[in-house]
A = this chain, B = another copy of it.
Amino acid sequence: MKNEKITARETDFGKWYTDVLKAARLTDYSSVKGCTILEPNGYALWEMIEKNLDQMFKETGHQNVYMPLLIPENLLKKEGELVEGFAPEVAWVTEGGNKKLEERLCIRPTSETLFSDYYAKVVKSYRDLPLKYNQWCNIMRWEKETKPFLRSREILWQEGHTIHETREEAEQEAKQMLEVYERFFKDYLAIPVITGRKTEKEKFAGAEYTLTVEALMQNGVALQSATSHFFGDKFARAYDITFKDRENKESYPYQTSWGSTTRMIGALIMVHSDDFGLVLPPKIAPVKACIIPIGDSSLVREQVEKIKQEFKERGISYVVDDSEKSPGFRFAEAEVKGIPIRLEIGERDLKEGKITIARRDTREKLEYSLSSHFMDDVEELLDTIQKDMYQKAKENRDSKTFTAKNISEVEEILDKHPGFIHAMWCGDQACEEKMKEIKGCKSRCIIEENKISDSCVVCGRDAKYHVIWGIQY
């Protein structure tokens, strides 16, 4: 029954990942190096993410805007750290309308510069603050190695940019948006995450600090899944953004930015999917149910019509596969696409007053009686699947979360399998570099929790931070 087009996870996790993308028809390679085509199934997932996350942004008082795609070199260069961080990986437009341009323009790798330039124009008084903006757009980073959804040259993402009167308010915003991401991962993607602060080495170029959402894939590899940055007044000073404060004094405002990308789809796949294809949590699945009539009796046809009607009334998205392919073939197709439930409507079952529903996550077949509360049962099943998927992902993560007190313990853990490793750190970058020598193990984030020991996992000196480490995508 295993899908022949999909390599088993145990055999080759990387190959499995790209096989799933292909079998579920999420993406295809394009003739443009490092850029991916999002096919209908892939883009529909992005639409679901966009719709729900956007709702959460609006509920927390954010407005969508749109800034230009191109950034003049001069404007980009105003904030030194940001340029240093991004200059090596931008794409430059140097010709337009058959002429060489006087100034190079880069395709936005991120838009702090454009938002800051705009703020400098429109922010005049504390009455103009805060401005809480977001934009859904494409960005470009000239990566050398690419992998669909995880790292590519062109990326679809959202970037929030806010500006505030006080440091406290801006810090509160950065924290709030981290929590929004955390909630979105939990409630919609069914992915448990760890949140914390990036080390100096791993933070965003130009940020005072970076908060991060870190997820663990089935194979124990960590994925940075969304970030929220506090900039202090760095950009305000670089871009000359000032406002008249409540004491009528010219002051610098404080900024944040926060972003998440189609990488979330990569996380969805690597956390939940299996050797039969995609597995999607119901709340983010573009299609919740696949209805498969078996045989062509009038009894079956009538029941299919009835169920379609009920799905419509409840606003549950569905597809019907009544093609001439064999039931088994159609079951496998619904399965590979990750549709959360599959309703098998056959005459024999119907005569006994029941319908078989297959759960995609557990692949169990369940019998449901066609009672007056049938649709309630279906909705309850979708809820159960959502919860169970989160629980399973959490158990997997917990089973791959370890504690280490010294380097040899770290080596011992990573020799067996990758995972999250809790370990103390002195704060010295040299120790961070040392950790990286062990299979590329990097600091994921600093958390505020009960510490494990008093001494740094690498050097044994006094520890300052409780850090979670892991091998990253």
Binary interface encoding of chain A residues 57-97 relative to chain B, with 1 for a CB under 8 A from any of its CBs, else 0: 00000011111111110010000000000011111111111
Chain A residues within CB distance 8 Å of chain B: 28, 30-32, 35-40, 42-44, 46-47, 63-72, 75, 87-98, 104-105, 107, 114, 117-118, 121-122, 133, 135, 137-138, 140, 142, 144, 153-154, 156
B residues within 8 A CB of A65?
Answer: 37-40, 43
B residues within 8 A CB of A95?
Answer: 91-92, 94, 104
B residues within 8 A CB of A30?
Answer: 67-68, 114, 117-118
Q: Which 3 A-B pairs have the closest CB atoms?
A: A97-B142, A35-B68, A40-B63
B residues within 8 A CB of A154?
Answer: 68-70
Please name 21 pairs of A and B residues whose Cβ atoms are closer than 8 Å in the assembled complex, sorted by A: A28-B121, A28-B122, A30-B67, A30-B68, A31-B75, A31-B114, A31-B117, A32-B71, A38-B66, A43-B65, A43-B135, A69-B107, A90-B96, A91-B96, A91-B97, A91-B105, A93-B93, A93-B107, A94-B95, A96-B153, A107-B107
- Judge whether B64 and A44 touch: CB under 8 Å: yes
CB proximity of A91 to chain B, nearest CB, Å: 4
Distance between Cα atoms of A70 and B36 in the complex (Å): 11
Most chain B beta-carbon neighbours within 10 Å: one of A40, A68, A91, A117: A68
Distance between Cα atoms of A154 and B32 in the complex (Å): 21
B residues within 8 A CB of A153?
Answer: 96
Closest B residue to A262 by beta carbon equals B66
B residues within 8 A CB of A35?
Answer: 68-70
B residues within 8 A CB of A67?
Answer: 30, 37
B residues within 8 A CB of A121?
Answer: 28
Closest B residue to A137 by beta carbon equals B138
CB proximity of A106 to chain B, nearest CB, Å: 9
